[in-house]
Amino acid sequence: MDITDASIATVISSTVATLLSLYLNNKTTIRYLNDQLDEIIKISIQYPYLESELFTSKWDPNDLSDEYIRYENYCTLMFNFLERFCKYYRYDDEKIRVKLNVRSWVRIHKEYWLKPSTPYDNIDSYDKQFRQLINNYLL
């Protein structure tokens, strides 16, 4: 098998294209995660009680008041974001901790996680690695 300049150029160009694609995809994912986090922060600024332990510690999955429905939706957004965030960092706790203080954030919403309004919602909605990570944070 002869290796020609054309085949070498083809291998090099496809390798560069692949690496560039991975780099751009990575940057797009980071931007997407940052945008999601910004939106969650904006909601918590608009409704500060959503991040107040005085409120979150009283979570009642049967309460249908506007505040609790808003809180449930907020937690869904937050945990969905956290799952994507943790998955991006391959559930590597050290990398996750460097980028975001997930542990303390999860602990504020402990009651919601432990008592979902729909039974088994957290088990059915999130992958096993994420559930293990969150449960470890709550120990």
CA distance 50 to 138: 19
Q: Where are the alpha helices (DSSP H) in the chain?
A: 5-46, 53-56, 66-88, 93-99, 102-108, 110-114, 121-125, 128-137
Q: pLDDT in tens for each of the 139 residues of the chain?
A: 556 665 655 656 666 566 556 555 678 888 889 999 999 999 999 999 999 999 999 999 999 999 999 999 999 999 999 999 999 999 999 999 999 999 999 999 999 999 999 988 888 899 999 999 999 999 8
* Lookup: tokens for 51: 């991040």
CA distance 82 to 102: 8
Q: For residue 84, what pLDDT is reported?
A: 94
Task: Give the residue among 67, 70, 60 at the shortest CA–CA distance from 116.
Answer: 60
Q: For residue 22, what pLDDT is reported?
A: 53
- DSSP code string of 88-105: HTTT-HHHHHHH--HHHH
CA distance 125 to 102: 19
Q: For residue 6, what pLDDT is reported?
A: 59
Residue found by looking up tokens 């945990």 in the block = 79
Q: For residue 13, what pLDDT is reported?
A: 64
Q: For residue 9, what pLDDT is reported?
A: 57
Q: For residue 26, what pLDDT is reported?
A: 75
Distances (CA, A) of 7 to 1, 4, 11, 12, 136: 11, 5, 6, 9, 51
CA distance 47 to 83: 23
CA distance 112 to 56: 8
> Interior CA angle at 126 toward 124 and 128, to 5°?
95
